[in-house]
A and B are shown apart, each in its own frame.
Chain A
């Protein structure tokens, strides 16, 4: 006779079952949210795609324009266009920032007729060697910054700027 379920027992089992189901419906998403950061695949950092193919690069620096989407500057959201001077040294791809280390103008490769094989800043005749090293006697006091470079599917991806590691 003991196997017979009383009305009281039946009700408490039913309530526990339904209650447990509801509690798990609340707890499961919480647990999932809590562990979510661990389950995220590691992203590639802040690398931005550029239209530049690696095969097309040579030892001569070329200008590569790329756009950082949705840059947030306080409440103002915009796309920022950026430029890099990219070339190949052996098999490694090198991308230099065009921002002059003197006062922030934009430098260009062979920007002056007089100075071949150099980066030239038109503002105050700043000069840099191909690896970004500032040429003594010209105003800049440091070498050009370098971009972090990543190659994905044959295209150049650029990341943050870091102090020049080639000089």
Chain B
């Protein structure tokens, strides 16, 4: 499910089935040297999110991506903003990111870190198969969490 009106209606009527929340974390760089990397990783995370969403539409709700910059005080975001994600009807919370920094924090959910792959130069079919490969890598993490 995506964070849209229609999908939210489905969620509200099927809460017992849709028990997983996924929040993509993306870094917005304003430093000219790093902007390209930032854009490329964001593109990757969002594409991956959409592939995962297609696979697990009926069990996962995808929040809009959470953006931060290099000056964001991540420690306080973790302690304030992210606390909102615990204690919700969602039994499982995942954060999807390509940024290593999140592994140093204690988040109210599981961080899924993926190495960023530049998708922009690939043709559609190669991109699709790369994303399917990545999906196969993250799949066990979700299944494992669900089976506990």
B122: Cβ under 8 A from any A Cβ:
no
List the B side residues contacting A139 at CB < 8 Å.
17
Q: Which single residue of chain A is at the shortest CB-CB distance from B20?
A: A123
Which of A79, A81, A103 has a CB less than 8 Å from the CB of B57?
A103
> What residues of chain A have their CB less than 8 Å away from a CB belonging to chain B?
65, 67, 79, 81, 100, 102-106, 121-124, 139
Known contacts A103-B14, A103-B18, A139-B17: does B124 contact A123 (CB below 8 Å)? no
CB–CB B124/A102 < 8 A: no
Known contacts A100-B58, A103-B57: does B124 contact A122 (CB below 8 Å)? no
CB–CB A65/B58 < 8 A: no
Which of B59, B128, B139, B143 has a CB less than 8 Å from the CB of A105?
B59
**In the bound complex, what is the Cα–Cα distance between A106 and B58 (angstroms)?**
9
CB–CB A104/B17 < 8 A: no
Q: Mark B39-81, 1 if CB is under 8 A from A, else 0.
A: 0000000000000001111110000000000000000000000
Offer 24 A-B interface pairs, CB within 8 angstroms, sorted by A. A65-B128, A67-B124, A79-B124, A81-B124, A100-B58, A102-B17, A102-B58, A103-B10, A103-B14, A103-B57, A103-B58, A103-B59, A104-B58, A105-B56, A105-B57, A105-B59, A106-B56, A121-B58, A122-B55, A122-B56, A123-B17, A123-B56, A124-B58, A124-B59
Knowing that A103-B58, A123-B17, A124-B58 touch, tell me 11 more A-B residue pairs with CB under 8 angstroms.
Answer: A79-B124, A102-B17, A103-B17, A103-B18, A104-B58, A105-B57, A105-B59, A106-B54, A106-B57, A122-B56, A124-B17
Q: Mark B128-140, 1 if CB is under 8 A from A, else 0.
A: 1000000000010
Which of B10, B125, B128, B143 has a CB less than 8 Å from the CB of A122?
B143
CB–CB B124/A106 < 8 A: no
Known contacts A122-B143, A124-B17, A139-B17: does B124 contact A105 (CB below 8 Å)? no
List the A side residues contacting B128 at CB < 8 Å.
65, 81
Question: Which one of B17, B58, B125 has the greatest number of beta carbons of chain A within 10 Å?
Answer: B58
List the B side residues contacting A122 at CB < 8 Å.
55-56, 139, 143
**In the bound complex, what is the Cα–Cα distance between A106 and B52 (angstroms)?**
10
Q: Mark B88-102, 1 if CB is under 8 A from A, else 0.
A: 000000000000000
